[in-house]
């Protein structure tokens, strides 16, 4: 795999000729639009095909996969443009294998709201070991809020991704509630009641584990939170429990986001943890990278001192932000955008995409209606740097927040770097 940086005057077809690859395949793998428009500084993942297959009359994708000894999920991963759908036609060309030297195998998990477009869901699920519908929140009485997760569970079953139940302190207003967390964590009887509801939901819907995300917990509740996770783990055993952790860099880090998350206790109580290594750049903050690599490293460096490496999922952001300038604290609000849309903005406004080597993140500026905007997002370079940490540190896998936005290049890159585990083992 090669990551090519588009230079002034270059075209998709010229780049394809430079590397001896098919231009249409290059376009599809990188989410380039049909008109093949590129931005200066844009990344393209270049892969050389090793084996191709031309579909014969009457053949199915499953039959082709069996013919070459591939899983159907791997065949989908090699051919993103099928979007996880089984329909093929005679004379279509399928990529059976690329010339790849992968870093190894890894597990992946992706989060999705119930209103995700089915096309985006089915396109990304072959790249996910697990998928987690977001979220079963907690109501004022301490019970579970409902979640319309039927489509996600249906597609997960069809495409072989294990579904995890997501439990959080999100309210009906889509905000995390410190009060509801404290009420639950300080009352064992309430905990027992909600654990019975979780057990019933797992049995009814076939979930393969529980993913817990309690945010903004008062520091006074950190011991109670760890005790709750121990109770949950015992209640759903032998299924695993995963706990999301705020991105701490030391044990006593102050702030409501951090104080209730005791890495050592939660790492011992749960089967797995997710490091939420994103949101340094966020909606109400100043323009900056969503996940600066040095900051991500600091979190991992601390986590591995108190949690076994093989328990850790690394959080991966699948989004960027667009800030109007000048930035005014308390007034300016950035909009969240997909990585693909960020490139489309650069193309539209003929902006050059720059790359900050220190934080390992792309960014650019453009002007619209007289307003200057600054955009930070993820591209193949920044994604490669983060995904490489999994192999470097010996972590369990990657947790993508989230699957709602299309990102063909991101899945192409993941497939080039790792063999994604097709079976959820724990």
CA atoms within 13 A on the CB side of 274: 26
Edge-to-edge strands, sheet with 354-356: 335-337, 320-324, 371-376, 361-368, 354-356
Q: What are phi and psi of 62, to 5 degrees?
A: -60, -40
Is 215 known to be catalytic?
A: yes
Closest CA to 111 of 60, 159, 167: 167
Q: Indicate which residue of 120, 215, 259, 378 is catalytic.
A: 215
Nearest one of 109, 124, 106, 108 to 417, comparing CA atoms: 106
Alpha-carbon distance of 129 to 254, in angstroms, equals: 34
Residues 36-65 as b/e (b if ≥16 CB within 10 A, e otherwise) read: eebbbbbbbbbbeeeeebebeeebebeebb
DSSP annotation string for 76-110: HHH-GGGTT-----TT-EEEEEE-----EEEEEEE
Residue 218 near residue 259 (C-beta atoms within 8 A): yes
Report the distance separating Cα 386 and Cα 313, nearest Å. Answer: 12
Q: Which residues are the active-site residues?
A: 215
């Amino acid at each position: 795999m090669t990551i090519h940086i588009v230079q002034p005057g270059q075209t998709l077809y010229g780049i394809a000729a430079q590397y001896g690859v098919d231009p249409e395949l290059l376009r599809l793998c990188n989410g380039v639009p049909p008109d093949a428009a590129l931005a200066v500084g844009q990344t393209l993942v270049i892969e050389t095909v090793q084996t191709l297959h031309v579909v014969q009359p009457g053949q199915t994708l499953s039959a082709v996969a069996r013919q070459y000894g591939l899983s159907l999920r791997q065949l989908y991963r090699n051919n993103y443009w099928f979007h996880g759908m089984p329909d093929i036609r005679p004379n279509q060309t399928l990529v059976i294998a690329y010339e790849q030297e992968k870093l190894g195998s890894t597990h992946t998990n992706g989060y999705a709201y119930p209103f995700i477009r089915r096309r985006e869901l089915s396109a990304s699920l072959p790249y996910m070991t697990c998928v987690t519908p977001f979220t079963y929140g907690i109501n004022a009485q301490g019970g579970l809020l409902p979640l319309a997760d039927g489509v996600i569970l249906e597609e997960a079953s069809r495409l072989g991704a294990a579904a995890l139940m997501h439990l959080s302190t999100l309210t009906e207003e889509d905000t995390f509630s410190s009060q509801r967390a404290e009420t639950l964590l300080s009352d064992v009887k309430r905990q027992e009641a909600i654990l019975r509801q979780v057990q019933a939901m797992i049995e009814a819907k076939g979930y393969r584990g529980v993913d817990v995300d309690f945010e903004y917990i008062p520091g006074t509740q950190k011991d109670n939170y760890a005790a709750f996770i121990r109770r949950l783990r015992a209640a759903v055993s032998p299924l695993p429990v995963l706990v999301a952790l705020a991105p701490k860099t030391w044990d006593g880090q102050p702030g409501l986001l951090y104080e209730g998350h005791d890495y050592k206790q939660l790492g011992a109580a749960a089967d797995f943890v997710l490091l939420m290594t994103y949101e340094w750049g966020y909606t109400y903050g100043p323009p900056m990278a969503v996940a600066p690599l040095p900051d991500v490293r600091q979190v991992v460096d601390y986590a591995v001192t108190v949690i076994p490496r093989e328990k850790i999922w690394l959080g991966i952001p699948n989004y960027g932000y667009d800030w109007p300038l000048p930035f005014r604290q308390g007034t300016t609000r950035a909009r969240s955008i997909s990585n693909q849309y960020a490139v489309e903005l650069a193309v539209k406004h003929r902006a050059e995409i720059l790359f900050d080597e220190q934080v390992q993140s792309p960014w650019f500026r453009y002007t619209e209606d007289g307003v200057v905007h600054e955009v930070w997002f993820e591209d193949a370079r920044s994604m490669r740097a983060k995904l490489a940490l999994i192999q470097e540190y010996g972590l369990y896998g990657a947790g993508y927040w989230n699957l709602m936005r299309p990102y063909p290049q991101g899945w192409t890159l993941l497939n080039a770097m790792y063999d994604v585990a097709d079976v959820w083992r724990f």
